[in-house]
Structure 1
Amino acid sequence: MRFRLYPDTGQAQRLASWSHTCRTVWNTALAQRIWAYKSARRATVRAVEQCAELTEARREHDWLRDLPAQCAQQVLRQLGAAYDNFWNPHHPAGFPQFKKKHHGQGVTFPGQAVAVHKVSRRTAQVKLPKIGWVRIRLSRPIDGTVRNATVSRDGLAGTSRSVSTSPSQRRRLSTRARRSVLMWGSRARCSFPTKTGSGSARPPSLQASGSACAVWSSARPGRWRSRRKHNGGKYSTRLRTTIGRIAALKSRQTRRRADWNHKLTTDLAKNHGLIAVED
């Protein structure tokens, strides 16, 4: 579940600083694992050992101590899970990659460190460690127990909060529900015809902003070459503006696709007791 977060200026700056710290912890831990495997006779470094070394590093560096210890430990656990998925022959995950500076910024908090207080029907407050109370918009109710929460940014310069919960109770399937078959075609990415013959395909309006995005995307390679040649490898103001506009369009498209997918899957779950996938 994703919710819109409204932090003030100080809270937003501190969350952004923490996201860079989490990226540094990830890259350092990944480099340590790669070095240990190549240099120390294929030794494997586990997350438990890196958490112990993290405690020593927090005593020496103030910027690392500012990040909550649970968030840094969560990064090491995620890296360990990524390694386990890579070594699992039945999992499609690839080798963990180093994180870039402006790609996928976010901070993950464990569920026991997060408190949620509902203010009104559409507004609530969430308490984050070392941040305090932050207002969020309840676009949907939070059911169950919060297991973890991730604060991240999207292309529309908005701060969102992704919450993973454990359900309080399971819903029973209706025995009178209809049946549905999922079919993949060559032109459409995925279509959903029901037993009665009526289908539901992704509407073309999701690509309405693709033309403007294509124009801006085509202008980037030439600007990058000019930037490397004449500007010493720095981004110009106009190039940063173009990249921001492309990110905003991509973010809108992502939200539209997610909205359509959520509505369709909700309708399938409510009105169909059996869903079969044709190979």
Structure 2
Amino acid sequence: MSRVASVKRQFGHRARLGLSPAEVSAADAQAHAARTMWNLLHAWWQMMPKDRRTLANADAAIRQSRKDVDFLAVLPAQAARAVLKAYFQAWKNCWEGRADAPNFKGRFRSVMSVDIPQGRDLNVKRVHRRWGMVNLPKIGRVRFRWTKGLPVGRRADSENRITGARLVKDALGWHIAFRVMTQEPAPDPHTGPEVGIDVGVIVPLALSDGTAYEHGAWLTEREKARLLRLEQLAARRKQHRKPGERTSRRLHRTYDEIAGLRAKAKRRAADWQHRTTTTIARTYGTVVVEALTVTNMVKSARGTVDVPGKNVAQKAGLNRSIAAEAWGRTVTLLAYRLERNGGILVKVPASGTSQRCSACGLITPGSRESQAVFVCKNPGCGWSGNADHNAARNLLHLYRIGLVAVPAAGRAVVRRARRVKPPTVR
């Protein structure tokens, strides 16, 4: 009897919490205590000599601070230790060149969050078709929206369980993000076709087979008008504030309403990305995308005082459009969804893919007539078509000849070794 291969999956699931006003105040107090704990750790780190900056000394300092400062005691002990581990991990990321050095967290600039590192403290249960119950340390038993099957009750074991969670507050309220570990059967290799995908601003996703995935505005005309009125109102109220004066409650409420509308638009964009990537992962077996460095693409064109930049306003608008499309998140969603369906995601070099003709393979100056039209200027070709689909066909061509930049999935390494052809000796 053959044994079915299985794979371990670790993923997160975010759900909205149904908190009462008293529970919201308790969660806010814990989040502010966690932020204060981070700032105290950073101040302690700067004051201590290098030979005394150890995890044990920092843990002792945290324990003593929770005894001496009353409002820090509202933070559960496990959450305080999670702040300590996150702070030391931030320094490790800095030393290894993955991030900047950690700094103080501002009251209004940082995300309010509380970590619950142990899953056994949650005691998650489903009580209704749409609602579940979870235990939050020092808050109590609260409701959350049940939108995904979680390994709880009889479905939970040592290989399928909730390993922890984090409380996160955004403009739409408090949410809980579960950390889930499951053991699932390994998917069979996807037998779907190969496709290249070109990302853009006018056409968000253009496929090499001629398919295009587009979306409209994330806010309705009425919501856009309301957002504009709120922004104008906030600007007027900000003018009446004197230098050094605290922000009024009215201005804070206006900022909250603006943040709520922007968060709604962001959620609609994320929902479109989830639905679109799910459809692509179920349809195609191999997806080829560009190896883009988005951070370099959205750099400002302002320049310096000695050498000022050109078309700064136009470049700023393009940067906002690129950031709004969130290309990196789309590729991340495609990667793990393809892996779950047995497909692979491959990245190829992006240079020259928008200028090359996918029919004759030549780069002729002037072929890219506009943002949407490509007409090959090669006298022997003359092919014309959509510029985005032409770039997607070029991406697929690079993969088929073996020019792979970064394999993005586990099986992509093996697939690349099979697809790469040795150079022809002449």
Compare 112-121 and 95-104 and name the one that shifted more: 95-104
Q: Rg bigger for which structure?
A: 2
Letter of the 1:18 counterpart: Q
Q: Alpha carbons of 1:243 and 1:253: their partners in 2 closer, same or farther (altered >3 Å)?
A: same
Q: Which residue of 1 aligns with 2:91?
A: 83
User: Which residue in 1 is equivalent to 2:177?
Assistant: 162
* Higher fraction of helix: 1
CA–CA separation in structure 1 for the residues paired with 2:43 and 2:228: 36
Paired with 1:43 and 1:271, the residues of 2 have a C-alpha distance of 57
Cα distance change, pair 60–253 in 1 and its aligned pair in 2 (3 A): same
- Which residue among 241, 251, 259 is the counterpart of 2:271? 259
Q: CA deviation at 1:207?
A: 4.7
* Superposition map of 1:53-72 within 5 A: 53-72=61-80
In the TM superposition, what is the alpha-carbon distance from 1:32 to its structure 2 partner? 2.3
Superposed CA deviations along residues 120-170 of structure 1, whole A, max 9, x for unmatched, are 2221100122222111111222254222211122213x2211112123325
Most deviating of 79-88 and 170-179: 170-179
Q: 1:120 to 1:100 in 2, by over 3 A?
A: same
Identity %: 27
Instruction: Classify the secondary structure of the residue corresponding to 2:147.
Output: coil
What secondary structure does 2:128 align onto?
Answer: coil
Q: 1:153 — aligned with what?
A: 169
Shift in Å, 1:181: 2.5
Match of 1:106 in 2: 113
Distance 1:46 1:170, change over 3 A: farther
Shift of 1:6: 0.9
CA contact (8 A) 1:5 1:137 kept: yes
Report the secondary structure of 1:205's partner residue: coil
Count of aligned residue pairs for this structure pair: 267
Indicate how the Cα distance of structure 1 residues 178 and 33 shifts in structure 2: closer, same or farther if over 3 A, else same: farther
3-state secondary structure, aligned to 2:194: strand
Change (3 A) 1:237 1:56: closer
Is 1:224 aligned to residue 232 of structure 2? no
Are the structure 2 counterparts of residues 86 and 10 from structure 1 closer, same or farther at C-alpha, using a change threshold of 3 Å? Answer: same
Distance 1:266 1:9, change over 3 A: same
Distance 1:235 1:61 in 2: 27
Q: Structure 2 residue aligned with 1:244, among 250, 256, 259?
A: 256
The answer for the alignment partner of 1:73 in structure 2 is 81
Q: Distance in 2 between matches of 1:85 and 1:212?
A: 42
Distance verdict in 2 for CA 1:147–1:243, change over 3 Å: same
Preserved contact between residue 67 and residue 73 of structure 2 (Cα < 8 Å): yes
- Report the equivalent of 1:183: 198
Query: Aligned pair in 2 of structure 1 residues 207, 64: CA closer, same or farther (>3 Å)?
Result: same
- When residues 57 and 225 of structure 1 are mapped into structure 2, their CA distance, relative to the original with a 3 A threshold, is same
Deviations 1:206-234 (A, max 9, x none): 154455434533554553342124xx612
Q: Please name the residue that 2:210 is paired with.
A: 197
Equivalent position of 2:218 in the other structure? 206
In the alignment, the residues of structure 2 paired with residue 46 and residue 162 of structure 1 have an alpha-carbon distance, to the nearest angstrom, of 30
Unaligned 5+ segments in structure 2 are 1-12, 152-159, 291-349, 351-426
2:164–2:179 Cα contact (<8 Å) kept: yes
| Preserved CA contact (<8 Å) 1:107 1:152 | yes
Structure 1 segments unaligned to the other structure (5+ residues): none
The two structures have a TM-score, normalised by structure 2, of 0.57
The higher-RCO structure (CA 8 Å, 6+ apart) is: 1
Rounded Cα–Cα distance in structure 1 between residues aligned with 2:235 and 2:46:
33
Q: Deviations over 1:155-212 (max 9, x none)?
A: 13x2211112123325514431233333233x34x833334220213x1321544554
Q: 1:95, CA displacement in angstroms? A: 2.3
Please give the per-residue CA displacement for 1:241-271, whole angstroms capped at 9, x wherever unaligned. 3212111111101211111121122223333
1:182–1:191 contact (8 Å) kept in structure 2? no
What's the secondary structure of 2:184's corresponding residue?
A: coil
Contact 1:206–1:253 at 8 Å: present in 2 too?
yes
What is the CA distance between 1:57 and its match in structure 2? 2.2
CA distance in 2, matches of 1:213, 1:94: 34
